[in-house]
Structure 1
Amino acid sequence: MSKQTFSLQSFPSTESFPDFKITGNISRNANQLVISYNLEGDLKEIAISPPSNAPSRKHELWEDTCLEFFLGIKDSQRYWEFNLSPAGHWNVYRFDDYRQGMQEETAFEKLPFSIQNQTDALVLALDVDLDKIVSVNQAIEIGITTVIKHRDGEVTYWALTHRGAEADFHLRDSFIVEL
């Protein structure tokens, strides 16, 4: 198992928030994927939904503050998008190719993760068994991303790297973490 740390960057054309940062770590042990996000800074400027008493699978979580990652099988066009809301809601979508064949991934019936929301930090951690979608011997490539919606309604896009002229988390050459 190798744990890798990360730091996300905001898309260059969006307003920068110097006192805000998104860091974390990711690891894979056999087919258990563990990812933890740390949002630090002036969180009262960010629209964060309060925790839900009944977290569930929901669509279009990316329209609000949403922590995400994209997982692809090395040397394959297929990939998955994992959406995690600070409110506890979640979804996983499968794609056959770049933005093609999007469908809800039914292999996951729930996606439990923990959330710690403090005044100046939000920590979200997910521990997920990938056996349902990839085999333990398949190498995977990951793009780690976050959509931040500010209280004024402005949205900023954060990722490990931005490879397109516009913020586009689906670009496979931005899946730069290999596990």
Structure 2
Amino acid sequence: MVLYDLIPHPQSSSPALAISVEAARTVEGTLVIRYVVNGDVDKILIPQPVRYASRHPDLWKNTCFEAFVSAGEGADYLEFNFAPSTAWDAFKFESYRVSGGSFPFPSPHFDVARPKGRLEVTVVLDMTETPEADARATWHLNLSAVMEAKEGTKSYWALAHAPGPPDFHNRDCFIATLPA
């Protein structure tokens, strides 16, 4: 697994946190992502667990983790949202913010842990039946997070930030690579 540190958007305010992400791609076509939040985790609004990992809309409006995946050099990409509750969603885009709509995707496997002062969310995605995740191409990723503080403010974290307001869809932020 490759380890990355997320950085807060300069216009964000948040409790004292550090967020790291590990990502790996298996030969079989599985994407494994592990988000680790350290620091004032008790000040973050964590959604209540859902009974079964299931799709839910608008997760990005609250505390959630995100992964944007593009195979090769094309303009199309996938977006995945993961809440610590195990709610999730997936979208495809034909190009920058041009929706290709929701698409069928198998429910990811979640492992969520909350040791003292820490939040850990590991997600395993089976990408084998997803044509947009070409198994022969290098995958370019933007790994990101939205942290909602209990007081109501939100902070936006990513591998990199383009100028202007937070924009996880900006291709300048897709700086992680996982070769075929």
**TM-score, normalization by structure 2:** 0.92
Q: Secondary structure at the match of 1:62?
A: helix
Q: Which runs of 4+ in 1 moved over 4 A?
A: none
What is the rounded CA distance, in whole Å, between the counterparts of 1:49 and 1:153 in structure 2? 13
After TM superposition, the structure 1 = structure 2 runs for residues 104-123 of structure 1, keeping only pairs within 5 Å, are: 104-106=102-104, 108-123=105-120
Structure 2 unaligned regions, length at least 5: none
Structure 1 unaligned regions, length at least 5: none
Greater mean alpha carbon deviation, residues 169-178 or residues 127-136: 127-136
What is the rounded CA distance, in whole Å, between the counterparts of 1:9 and 1:154 in structure 2? 17
What is the rounded CA distance, in whole Å, between the counterparts of 1:172 and 1:135 in structure 2? 18
What is the rounded CA distance, in whole Å, between the counterparts of 1:105 and 1:151 in structure 2? 32
What is the rounded CA distance, in whole Å, between the counterparts of 2:111 and 2:2 in structure 1? 20
Q: Secondary structure at the match of 1:132?
A: coil
Distance apart, 1:55 and its partner CA: 3.0
Q: Secondary structure at the match of 2:128?
A: helix
2:73 to 63, 72, 75: 75
Contact 2:160/2:172 (8 A) holds in 1: no
What is the rounded CA distance, in whole Å, between the counterparts of 1:87 and 1:127 in structure 2? 15
Greater mean alpha carbon deviation, residues 43-52 or residues 89-98: 43-52
- 1:86-124: CA deviations, max 9, x gaps? 111000100001000241121x13122111123311111
Aligned length: 175
| Structure 2 partner of 1:157 | 156
| Structure 2 partner of 1:24 | 21
What is the rounded CA distance, in whole Å, between the counterparts of 2:51 and 2:176 in structure 1? 33
Q: Secondary structure at the match of 2:99?
A: coil
Percent identical: 29
| Structure 1 partner of 2:126 | 129
Distance apart, 1:140 and its partner CA: 1.0
Root mean square deviation, CA, Å: 1.3
What is the rounded CA distance, in whole Å, between the counterparts of 1:51 and 1:120 in structure 2? 19
